[in-house]
Structure 1
Amino acid sequence: MTEKTSWLSRLTAGLSRSSDKLGGNLSGLFGAVPFGTTTLEPARLEAIEEALIASDLGPALAARIVAELGSGQYARGIDEVGVRAVVAAEIAKVLAPVAKPLEVIAFPRPQVILVVGVNGSGKTTTIAKLAHLFAEQDYSVMLAAGDTFRAAAIAQLKIWGARAGVPVISGEQGADAAGLAFTALDAARAAGSDVLIIDTAGRLQNKSGLMDELAKIKRVLRKSMPAAPHDVVLVLDATTGQNALNQIEVFRDVAGVTGLVMTKLDGTARGGVLVAAAEKFGLPIHAVGVGEGIDDLRPFDATVFAKALAGG
C-alpha cells in the first residue's frame, strides 16, 4: 500500500462518523421507497435540505444542493446513492478553490508561520505535525514556544519538537511572547532554517489581551523581517462543530488569519462544518488531521474529502 493510499484510507475512516451522520439523515428519506428510488417532489426536497443542514453543511450549500436535485435532469427520480454523488460534487465545488497546501516561498528565508487557535484545539501538536510535513519535503524547520502563558504548552511543544526532530526555541513561563518570537527569528536565520513556526496563546476569553499580544508579535517580527509573518494559520477542532465558525470570525478579526487547519476529524460526526467554513469565509484550507500520530496531518484534497464525507 502506497503512502498516499494509506492516507486516503485513514481519511475515509476518520470521516466515517461524519459520513454515517449524513447517510443516517438521508437514508430515512429513501428507506421506505421500493428499490430506493423516488421522485423529488417539493416536500421531499425540503426534507433533504433539512437533512443536509443537520449534517453541518450549512444552509447556503444545502439550498444549492437541493436546487440541483430539483432540476429537470432528476425528474424521473433518484436514489440515495445518486443523492450522495450530487452532494459530493457540490461539496467539491465549494472546497476546490480553498484547497491550498502551505508552500515555502519566502525569500529571504525563513518563511514565518504564526499559528493561532483556542487552547485545546490541538494547536501545539498541529505545529509539530506541520513541521514533520515540511521536513518530509527536505525543508529545515525551527519551532518557537510562543504560548508563554502556559508552562504545559512550552513543555508539550518541546516533546513534540523532539518527536519531529526539529529544534524548539523557548523561554520561561510568563516571558514576553513577542521578545521570544524575535529571538526565534534571529535563531532561525542564523541556522539557515527554511521555516519558522511560532506557537501563540489561545486565551479567547480575553480577546483584547490576545489581540494586543498578537499585534505586538507581528510588529516585532516586522521590525526584523518586513514580510513576516508570511502566514497566520488558525487551528480548528472539528469536535466543536458550529462553534468553529465563531472561532474563525473572531480570530480573523483579531489575528488576520490567512488559512485554516482542521484537526480531530476522526473524533466527531461534525466534519461537515469544514464545508460550512469554506462556504462562509472562503479562507484557504491547508491541511486536515485524523489522528494523534506525527504523520496524521496531511495537505487538504478537496475531491477526496468531498467523496469521503458524502460516502460517494
Structure 2
Amino acid sequence: MGLFSKLKEGLTKTRNNIVSGIDSVFSGFSKIDDDFYDELEETLIMGDIGVRATEEIIEDLKEKVKENKIKQPEECKHLLIETIKEKMNLGENAYDFENKQSIVMLIGVNGVGKTTSVGKLAGLLKAQNKKVIMAAADTFRAAAIEQLTEWSKRTGTDIIAQSEGSDPAAVIFDAVAAAKARNADVLLCDTAGRLHNKKNLMEELKKIDRVIERSYPEAYRENLIVLDAT
C-alpha cells in the first residue's frame, strides 16, 4: 500500500473529501504549472483547510518541488502529504494541560464520538503517568454511562457516575470533589450531545460551568469541541 493510500485510509470521513479532491487534481494535470497550483489551492480551501494554512502549504510545496527539481505532478504527491502532515502535527504534548490540575470537558452534537474520545484521552494521559478521573455527565443515555464504565475498566481509570436521568451538574460536582480529594491530574468530563440553539441544554452547560468555577476555581480549564471522532 502506497503512502498516499495509507494516509487516505487513516483520514476521517470529513478529510476523505479533501483527499478525493486532491486525487482528482493530480490525475487531471500532466505538468506542474500555475494552473496546477491554483487548482490544488482551491481544492484545499474548499476542504476547509483554511486560506492561510492553504497558502503556507502551497508555498512550502513549491519550494520542495523546486529543490527536488520535480516536473510531474505524481512525483510531488508525497511532498504534498509531507507538507500537510507537518502543518497538522501538533505534537504529543500539544495538550499537556499546563502540567497542573485540570478539568477537560468534551462537548459536541450527538453521535460524534465524545464518550469514546474521553476513554481514549484517559488511556493517553494514563500512559503519560497522569492520575485521571472520568465524569459520566451524559446522563441522558444509559449507554453512555455503560460505555464510559467499560473504558474505565480498560484504562484502569476511576469513574464518577450516577444513574440515567441524574442532574449532569451534580455528577460534575461529585467528580470535582473526587478529583480534589484524590489529587487527580486531569478530570475528563463526558457530556450529552447538544445543539447551540437548544436553550435548555446550553443552560445546562452554563450550570456545569458555574459548579466547576465555584468548587475548583484554581483548576486549569479546557473545553474540547468534538466534531467527528468516529
With normalisation by structure 1, the TM-score equals 0.58
| 1:271 aligned partner | none
* Residues 160 and 175, structure 2, Cα contact 8 Å, conserved in 1: yes
1:161-176 aligned at under 5 Å gives the runs 161-176=152-167
d(CA) in 2 for partners of 1:89, 1:228? 38
Identity rate, percent:
35
- Is 1:103 aligned with 2:79? no
Contact 2:123/2:155 (8 A) holds in 1: yes
**Counterpart AA for 1:196:** L
Q: 226, 232, 235: which one pairs with 2:226? A: 235
Aligned to 2:134: 143
8 Å Cα contact 1:25-1:54 kept in structure 2: no
Measure, in 2, the Cα distance between the counterparts of 1:46 and 1:14: 26
Match of 2:3 in 1: none
**Corresponding residue for residue 214 of structure 2:** 223
Q: Tell me if 1:40 matches 2:36.
A: no
Secondary structure in 2 aligned to 1:230?
strand
Residues 227-254 of structure 1: CA deviation (Å, up to 9, x unaligned):
44611111221xxxxxxxxxxxxxxxxx
Q: Which amino acid aligns with 1:149?
A: F
User: Which secondary structure does the structure 2 equivalent of 1:132 belong to?
Assistant: helix
Higher mean alpha-carbon deviation, 98-107 vs 179-188, is at 98-107
Pair 1:15-2:6 in alignment: no
Any idea what SS the aligned residue of 2:149 has?
Answer: helix
- The amino acid that maps onto 2:188 is I
Quick one: distance in 2 between partners of 1:113 and 1:70?
40
Higher relative contact order (CA 8 A, sep 6+): 1
Which of 180, 185, 192 is matched with 2:176 structurally?
Answer: 185
SS at match of 1:197: strand
Q: Is the 8 A contact 1:29 1:48 kept in 2?
A: no
Shift of 1:99: 8.3
**SS of equivalent to 1:112:** strand
TM-score (norm 2): 0.76
Which residue matches 1:29?
28
Distance, in Å, in 2 between the alignment partners of 1:229 and 1:181 is 15
Q: Which runs of 5+ in 2 are unaligned?
A: 1-5
RMSD: 3.3
Shift of 1:214: 0.9
Structure 1: tracts of 5 or more residues without a match: 1-9, 238-262, 265-312
Task: Report the residue type matching 1:179 in the other structure.
Answer: A
Structure 1 residues 67 and 189, CA gap change in structure 2 (3 angstroms): closer
Structure 2: distance between partners of 1:124 and 1:11: 25
For this pair of structures, how many residues does the alignment match?
219
Report the CA distance shift for 1:26/1:122 in structure 2 as closer, same or farther (over 3 A): same
In 2, distance between residues paired with 1:216 and 1:200? 13
